[in-house]
Structure 1
Amino acid sequence: MRQYMKMVRPFDFIIIIVLILGSFLPLIFFTAAEAKNAGDDVVAIVSQDGKVIREITLTGHQGNEQFTIKGKGTQYNLMEVDGERIRIKEDNSPDQIGVMMGWKSDPGDTIVCLPHKVFVEIKSANKDSKDPDTDLIVPN
């Protein structure tokens, strides 16, 4: 043990402490960003093949709502909005990946069904913004 302690210099401890403290920086930044968006409305943007099908405000949404997105041929996705969360309840894709993604409600969450080209993105809509282009980012 003594031979290993001879290899360690005092400056090494300073570097280790700085690296440990630096590992908490992402947590601090992401927590601050979430706190900044805490009062914003949460919106689910449902798009298919790059075109926005529907925008649903999840903040304050009550009750249960279901709607179907039809694709080419017999493709379909049954979407369900229950309270302030959304999911793909049922679809006829082979792997059921979109169904297995479950309920989503937090900004930054996504649901994807690649065979049907359905994309659901949960965004935070800034209520105080004067420029409507900054409220939502819609995929092309």
Structure 2
Amino acid sequence: MKWREFIIKSRLKPWDIVIITGLILVSFVPLIIFGLQQTAEATVTKQAVLRVDGEEIKTFDLYEGQKTYTYTYKDEDGDYNILEISDGKIRIKEANCGDQICVRQGWAQKNGETRVCLPHKLVIEIQTSDGSDEGSLIY
């Protein structure tokens, strides 16, 4: 059966095919828009801010492909936390606190995530450098 015969027998008019094709193409517009939005978000740099007892101690830049390195925070009482920074994420690798909850929390990499060591009053918070939320909705 030829295409023309199919259209005639199915009671479809030529403009019906154009309209259906147009609607199918328009249905891909959100996919394109959100794909472009995520590409733009990938250019936003992230930072991890280290605070102890509310005072900002150090800021670490986080980015994909980052080499692994460690940073040791030690206070005057002898308490220490070893932070590991690798491939755009950060974690508390080792601490001399009793409960070790901070070590078991794992990696932080998304905007707004925190890692906390309560006995040492240490907080690590992930922030985007431009102040935007990585996973925020557009209204």
Instruction: Give the TM-score range, shorter chain.
Output: 0.5 to 0.7
Measured after TM superposition, the shift of residue 83 of structure 1 is 1.6
Alignment map for 1:11-90 (pairs within 5 Å): 38=41, 39-60=43-64, 62-90=66-94
Label 1:36 to 1:62 Cα distance change in 2 as closer, same or farther (>3 A).
closer
Label 1:37 to 1:69 Cα distance change in 2 as closer, same or farther (>3 A).
farther
Q: Is 2:115 the counterpart of 1:111?
A: yes
| 1:124 equivalent in structure 2 | 128
Label 1:96 to 1:58 Cα distance change in 2 as closer, same or farther (>3 A).
same
Amino acid at match of 1:83: D
Label 1:83 to 1:95 Cα distance change in 2 as closer, same or farther (>3 A).
same
Measured after TM superposition, the shift of residue 71 of structure 1 is 2.4
4+ long deviations beyond 4 Å: 34-37
How far apart are the structure 2 equivalents of 1:115 and 1:61? Answer: 32
Instruction: Judge which range, 68-77 or 95-104, deviates more.
Output: 68-77
CA contact 1:37–1:124 (8 Å) conserved in 2: no
Identity rate, percent: 34
The TM-score, its normalising length taken from structure 2, stands at 0.62
List alignment gaps of at least 5 residues for structure 2: 1-33, 133-139
Measured after TM superposition, the shift of residue 93 of structure 1 is 0.6
| 2:29 equivalent in structure 1 | none
The TM-score, its normalising length taken from structure 1, stands at 0.61
| 2:20 equivalent in structure 1 | none
Measured after TM superposition, the shift of residue 59 of structure 1 is 2.1
Amino acid at match of 2:126: I
Task: Give aligned pairs, total.
Answer: 96
List alignment gaps of at least 5 residues for structure 1: 1-30, 127-133, 136-140
Q: CA RMSD in A?
A: 2.3
How far apart are the structure 1 equivalents of 2:53 and 2:68? Answer: 26
